[in-house]
Structure 1
Amino acid sequence: MEKLVNDFSFGLFFWQLLILIVLAFLLWKFAWKPILEALSSREEGIQDALDSAERARKEMQNLQADNEKLLQEARAERDSMIKEAREIKEKMISEARAEAQNEGDKMISQAKVSIKNEKNAALAEIKNKVAALSIQIAEKVVRHELSSREEQQKLVDDMLDDVTLN
């Protein structure tokens, strides 16, 4: 270090300083500016990429929220459709039961009317047969017992007095 201090020359120092300043100016003019511009553009590119990633993340969150909302709406619609289908099913079953009950009641009432009519017809037929048989039996008995016309007339008059019309 002592040798440097002893060999120090102001002229050499001046030229070295001048070269250093020119070199610094040239570096600043031709190297620093493009390097700084490249760093700045790279920083802007990175910032744009970060902003784009943030926008994509927010858009993804919005899409997920929309998908969840659509899924909830679809579930609600499915539930309402199932509920409506169950109500329609219950309504159809109750209507079918009511219709079957009404039809059954009609059939029962028709059967009762039919049975009553057949019963009345059978009773009328039995009455007619019994009456016809009674008349035949009575006729045979009366022929044997009543040989004269006057006795027959008296018997018929007595019977007519006893008979009441329904």
Structure 2
Amino acid sequence: MEKLVNDFAYGLFFWQALILIVLILLLRKYAWRPVLNSLDKREQGIKDALDSAEKARLEMKNLQANNEKMKKEAREERDELLKEARQIKEKMIADASGEAEEKANAMILKAQESIRTEKQAALSEIKAQVASLSIEIAEKVVKKELDNKEDQMRLVDNMLDDVKLN
């Protein structure tokens, strides 16, 4: 230990301390700041993605609730139409003979066809809305995840091959 104290060179110590301070400043400016900045950007990107996913989940939940509501309304309308058709049918049967019965059956078939077409139209509209929302979400995620256009096109082609329309 005494040898270290006796051989201590103040000039060498000064230059080593100066080099250490310069090295710390350079690392702080060119290494730590960019690393911390990129970590902050990454954290913000993840936070934004989670917020976007939460919004998408809530929108999907709302769409499902709307879908159930529309189905319920369609069922109620169908039931009401069927009820009306049955009442008309019973009245016509009571009032007339075979011709009245044929007319009532025709009305029931028309009501059922109308219900079927309305239900199909409602389901098609819901599917279109869900597809549109899915495409928007996928577009946002793909924009963040894919760096070059070639990867984007390859992903889009793969997705289009997997899609089956009803």
TM-score by structure 2 length? 0.53
- Equivalent residue for 1:16? 16
Runs (5+) with no aligned partner, structure 2: 98-166
Distance 1:18 1:42 in 2: 35
Distance 2:2 2:72 in 1: 87
Post-superposition CA distance 1:33-69 (Å, at most 9, x none): 2112211111111111011101111111111111111
- Equivalent residue for 1:44? 44
Report whether the alignment pairs 1:60 with 2:60.
yes
Distance 1:68 1:43 in 2: 37
Q: Alignment identity in percent? A: 69
Distance 1:52 1:68 in 2: 24
Distance 1:2 1:72 in 2: 93
Aligned residue-pair number = 97
Distance 2:82 2:36 in 1: 67
Runs (5+) with no aligned partner, structure 1: 98-166
Higher radius of gyration, 1 or 2 = 1
SS in structure 1 at match of 2:42: helix
Structure 1 residues 2 and 95 mapped into 2: Cα distance closer, same or farther (>3 Å)? farther
- Equivalent residue for 1:35? 35
Q: Which residues of 2 match residues 3-152 of structure 1 at below 5 A?
A: 7-96=7-96
Post-superposition CA distance 1:129-163 (Å, at most 9, x none): xxxxxxxxxxxxxxxxxxxxxxxxxxxxxxxxxxx
Structure number with the bigger relative contact order (C-alpha 8 A, sep ≥ 6) is 2
Q: 4+ runs of 1 displaced by more than 6 Å?
A: none
TM-score by structure 1 length? 0.53
